[in-house]
Amino acid sequence: ALPAWDRRGRRRPMSPPPPAEDVPQLDPRARALLWGAIALCVGIELVLQAADHGLIGDRRWRGLAYDYGAFWSQLLRGWRPNYAAQPWTMFASYAVLHGGLWHLTFNMVTLWSLGRAVAERAGAGGLASLLAGGTLGGAVGHGLLSAAPVPMVGASGALFGLAGALLVWAWADRRDARETQRPVIVAALVLVGINLVMWWALKGQLAWQAHLGGFVAGAALAPRRRG
C-alpha cells in the first residue's frame, strides 16, 4: 500500500477501496421458517416449564403432553393409543416437544446454525423438505430400532437430517473439485463421537436411533442442485 502523503507533503489521491465480497443473505422465507419453528418449540417448552413450577395450569401438563404428543415405539407394537390418530401424528408431534430447557436450548441453537447453512444452499423449499424429511426419518428410525417403552421427544431427527444433507453436499463439492474427502470423513467421525459421548453421559438415555434415521433421510433427500 502507498502512503497517503508524498515527499513534498502533498496528499496523494486515494484509490477507491476494492469492492466487498458479496455476503449471502438468508432467504426471508427461510428466515421465517426457522424463526417459526424455533418459536413453536420455545413456546411449548415455556408453557410446560411454567406448569412444572406451578405458575399456570397443572403440573401434569408435561406428562400429558408426552402421553399424547411424544413418539412411543410401543404404539407400533400393539399398545392402545390415547386417540385414533396418535400412531400417525406422533411421527411429527414429537419434534416440537423437549425434555427441558437444556435440551431445548441445544437443539434450537443447532437448528439456527445448521438451518442457515442449508437455506443458503437449498433455499426455503429445500430447508422445509429436509426438516420434514429428517423429522419423519428420525421417527421411522426410532420406531424400527427401539422397542423401549419410553417417550421419545426432541427435534434431533430434523437436525440430523440437516447435518446429513450438509455432509452429502460437502462430499459432492470436494469430489467435483477433486479434493480430498478427509475433512468430510473427519466431520462424520466427530458426529459419531459426539453421539457416543452423549450416550455415555446420559447413561444410554439417548435416542440415537432417531439421530440415525434423521441423518439417513437428510442424506437421501439432499437436493443435488443449489436452490
Give backbone dihedrals phi and psi of 98, rounded to 5 degrees, phi first.
-135, 165
pTM of the model: 0.86
pLDDT of 9: 54
Query: Are 48 and 61 spatial neighbours (Cβ–Cβ below 8 Å)?
Result: yes
Give the tens place of pLDDT for each residue, 39-83: 999 999 999 999 999 999 999 999 999 999 999 999 999 999 999
Identify the residue whose cell numbers are 419410553: 150
- Rounded to whole angstroms, how far apart are CA atoms 19 and 38? 35
- Rounded to whole angstroms, how far apart are CA atoms 36 and 107? 14
Give the tens place of pLDDT for each residue, 162-215: 999 999 999 999 999 999 999 999 999 999 999 999 999 888 889 999 999 999
Under the banding of pLDDT at 50, 70 and 90, the label for residue 227 is low
Residue 120 exposure: Cα atoms within 13 Å on the Cβ side: 13
Architecture of domain 28-221: Up-down Bundle (1.20)
| Other beta carbons within 10 Å of 7 | 6
Q: Is 95 exposed, middle or buried (0-12, 13-18, 19+ CB in 10 A)?
A: buried
Facing residues of 5 across strands?
Answer: 11
- Rounded to whole angstroms, how far apart are CA atoms 108 and 127? 15
